Structure 1
Amino acid sequence: MVVNVDEVVRREKLAIVAIKRAMGTEDGDVNLFVSHHLDELDGEYWLKHLGTESPDATQILDIIRLRSHWGGDEIDGIKNFDFTLPDDVTDYVISVSFDEAGEVDEISMES
């Protein structure tokens, strides 16, 4: 599979912006991802990564990392981008899919 690195970087940045914009809106999947992990992970995890045992949603979204990109045609494999928290503490991801024009099409929480 040939991957355009510049396009991966561009889409990763677009995805992060879209995820942060979705927080607190009617798009419940980003809200669910944040609230689930606030409930499930102990204060030590947040302290290690954020310097506080009680982070807010913005802080949590600031540390999500690209886990993988996949899908699309066999040439690019960059239709879907999955983001998660550091240290493999969860099986859940925020998945961002892109349309044919390379713009964010959908954001969902997946496991």
Structure 2
Amino acid sequence: MTELTQAQQDALDAAAFRRLLAHLDDNKDVQNIDLMILAGFCRNCLSKWYLAAAEYQGVTMDMDAARERIYGMSYAEWKDKYQPKATADQLAAFEARGK
């Protein structure tokens, strides 16, 4: 494997993260609860991680700004347009995952 410089690794990490955000944006039908059931994280988790990274870097940011970066719009707008109420099956699968 090629030894990467820190700058190269950071650039690749950033590119992969941008691709993940684009993929999630292209697949708005995939609900956060489904992501949590299958992968153990969701868009809200990414928002929290993004905010934590900003704080670690000394960047002033709030959760609304972090969510807007991850969702590509305000969280309220995204929920209104793309997030239906969780089904009984989704809730049961989510609860079962936690055990």
Q: Which has the higher helix share?
A: 2
TM exceeding 0.5: no
Q: Which has the higher strand share?
A: 1
Indicate the structure (1 or 2) with the bigger Cα radius of gyration.
2
**TM-score, length of structure 2 as denominator length:** 0.31
